[in-house]
Structure 1
Amino acid sequence: MTQISPIPEMPDQEGYHYGVMRRAIDLLDRAEDPMQLDDIAGEMGMSAAHFQRLFSRWVGVSPKRYQQYLMLGQAKQMLAQNTTTLQAAHSLGLSGTGRLHDLFLRWEAMSPGEFARKGADLTIYWGWFESPFGPALVMGTEKGICGLALASEMGEEAAMQDLLSRWPQAQFVEDPMMLRPWVLTAFGAQDGKLDKAPLYLIGAPFQIKVWEALLSIPSGQVTTYSDIAETIGHPKAVRAVGTAVGRNPVSWLIPCHRALRKSGALGGYHWGLPVKRAMLAFEAARAEAS
């Protein structure tokens, strides 16, 4: 049985509520039709009034409003109204070492030569954690987080094999406590010890450029694969950009879920489309609440 560390570390009641919200988000995302408040609360074992207050405090909007964000049409509306101009974001210094919107991140990338060695001479630590979007497998070197896989759709074994296969020559060591402070910060549950969650990007040079562009997209906004291609100076490389987005090993923190097709369709998502839809809805709800 996989050991999953709870996130965030809170008193028992708060930790329990965190788990309830994760289950509620998953329930709403999988529902074929909009659910009534009484039915959702019943599934969570709570009264409607108590669940409504709790959900609104954690997510920022009511369950009814959150379900509206889950509708596929919302992605098109976001694209029409809230798409970010990546060039402007870059000029304002929103990528790299600055504060990245609702997350505190700093990052550096492995050199091309190091990447070519497929992780040789690299020690990668790993552990399982709870996240708002289900079980999260987090991997990191001494320099920062290099992998974050979400297993709610593909399963824990497949998620583990997915990340292990990316750096086949590396040495892997299970050590969730080493990663825990970074993960707490990355999921917005800062414990007062860190103000930045470090990322260590392991990828080919073209992939790194695409991932850097993704880091410039503010939470609650979206962009298109073609806009990313334009931003990195390869306007005709839309398909290659899509491939690089799909190969992003650090879900959520490098926000590949914010990249849509030009039509407004969600496109693919390596960790499962329900996860992508839930992430976009969660961020849109938080943006509205703030």
Structure 2
Amino acid sequence: MASSDYARIEQAILYLDAHAREQPSLDDVAAHVGLSPFHFQRLFTRWAGISPKRFLQVHTLSSARRLLAERRSVLDTSFAVGLSGGGRLHELFVTLTAMTPGEFKLAGEGLTVHHGVHTSPFGDCLIAVCERGICGLHFLTGESEAEALESLREQWPRASFIESTKLTAPWAGRIFPQTPPRERTPLSVLVKGTPFQVQVWQALLRVAPGDVATYEDLAKAIGRPKAVRAVGSAVGDNSVALLIPCHRVLRKTGVIGDYRWGSSRKQVMLAWETLRREADNEDGDGEALQSGLA
């Protein structure tokens, strides 16, 4: 999906969210994003796997408090058993590996990082991989590829960086497959963080697509119920977007809140996952879904 397509989708989602009570027509939304109704219908359905009309019917983002309340029991169970909840079709399988204290001190010395920019349902992103897996995923929001790469260099200052879109393309294909794969192999992710940060990121992996959690939920899940502010900092320090799903964290009031790669993108990502779960529930075999995440 081209960046221009994502920009239109973002505009459409935000427009539908802001005008949900008015039940805008297809013509209204299409005009807002500068497309004919026919082309907008095709674009939105290809992206979401569900029509704009159906999106309004299952819309939940303007009722985030209700979403929190509805998913709380599922979330508590997933934390208790250490497994992700629902989202059968779109659940991401991620194996998180943290650097050892010795490797942490080396700051990436001896590590070769290959990187490349790829399109995704949420706009262009910089993907960085090494022999141990994915070590960075940055959406290019308000920053250039060079700026995103500089952020990775700061994290791994002694590593060698090589631009290689050809090498990162297979990883992008696994993260953002064009069609749902029949079999999924866990994605390996290498992170550099303190033991506390790693604990928080591991807890995030147990929040399934279509579910949300609060910072208080995460603090409770790692056995540090009073460390809410520190949990928030750890969530914000995540440098592997989407795969470590920091976008699924809301304030306890239901407010979307800040997001490293843009609050609008966070809202769109939550909408996408909600839509996909609805589509999955309505179409058990998933054959109607033409694109999306593993």
Whether TM-score is above 0.5 comes out as yes
Q: What are the superposed Cα offsets for residues 161-182 of structure 1, whole Å, 9 maximum, x if unpaired? A: 2222111121111112222212
Q: Give the 3 Å change call, closer, same or farther, for CA 134–260 of structure 1 in structure 2.
A: same
3-state DSSP class of the match of 1:77?
helix
Distance 1:161 1:169 in 2: 13
1:30 Cα deviation after fit: 5.5
| Contact 1:84–1:218 (CA under 8 A) maintained in structure 2 | no
Residue 278 (structure 1) aligned to one of 268, 271, 288: 268
3-state DSSP class of the match of 1:195?
coil
3-state DSSP class of the match of 2:70?
helix
3-state DSSP class of the match of 2:190?
strand
| Contact 2:96–2:202 (CA under 8 A) maintained in structure 1 | no
Residue 71 (structure 2) aligned to one of 78, 82, 104: 82
Report what 1:227 is aligned to. Answer: 217
Distance 2:32 2:62 in 1: 27
| Contact 1:223–1:260 (CA under 8 A) maintained in structure 2 | yes
Report what 1:4 is aligned to. Answer: none
Report what 1:28 is aligned to. Answer: 12
Residue 155 (structure 2) aligned to one of 156, 166, 173: 166
Letter in 2 for 1:109: A
1:81 Cα deviation after fit: 1.3
1:225 Cα deviation after fit: 0.5
Distance 1:136 1:84 in 2: 33
Distance 1:41 1:25 in 2: 10
Report what 1:141 is aligned to. Answer: 130
Residue 218 (structure 1) aligned to one of 208, 214, 232: 208
Q: Give the 3 Å change call, closer, same or farther, for CA 68–128 of structure 1 in structure 2.
A: farther
3-state DSSP class of the match of 2:117?
strand
Which range moves more in the overlay, 239-248 or 272-281? 272-281
Report what 2:95 is aligned to. Answer: 106
Letter in 2 for 1:37: L
Which range moves more in the overlay, 99-108 or 116-125? 99-108
Distance 1:43 1:262 in 2: 32
| Contact 1:131–1:187 (CA under 8 A) maintained in structure 2 | yes
Q: What are the superposed Cα offsets for residues 135-166 of structure 1, whole Å, 9 maximum, x if unpaired? A: 10111111111110111334434322222211
- Residue ranges of structure 1 left out of the alignment (5+ in a row): 1-14
2:55 aligned with 1:55, yes or no?
no
Distance 1:285 1:115 in 2: 39
2:226 aligned with 1:242, yes or no?
no
Which range moves more in the overlay, 33-42 or 158-167? 33-42
Report what 1:156 is aligned to. Answer: 145
Distance 2:151 2:212 in 1: 26
| Contact 2:117–2:145 (CA under 8 A) maintained in structure 1 | no
1:130 Cα deviation after fit: 0.7
Report what 2:186 is aligned to. Answer: 196
Letter in 1 for 2:50: V
Distance 1:257 1:127 in 2: 22
Identity of aligned residues (%): 44
- Residue ranges of structure 2 left out of the alignment (5+ in a row): 281-294
State the TM-score, normalized to the length of structure 2: 0.80
Distance 2:212 2:238 in 1: 16
Runs of 4+ with >6 A deviation = 67-71, 190-194
3-state DSSP class of the match of 1:140?
strand
| Contact 2:79–2:221 (CA under 8 A) maintained in structure 1 | no
1:79 Cα deviation after fit: 1.0
Distance 1:256 1:217 in 2: 9
| Contact 1:69–1:281 (CA under 8 A) maintained in structure 2 | no
Distance 1:262 1:68 in 2: 25
3-state DSSP class of the match of 2:136?
strand
| Contact 1:133–1:152 (CA under 8 A) maintained in structure 2 | no
Q: CA RMSD in A?
A: 3.0
Distance 2:191 2:222 in 1: 17
Higher relative CO (Cα under 8 Å, sequence separation at least 6) belongs to 2
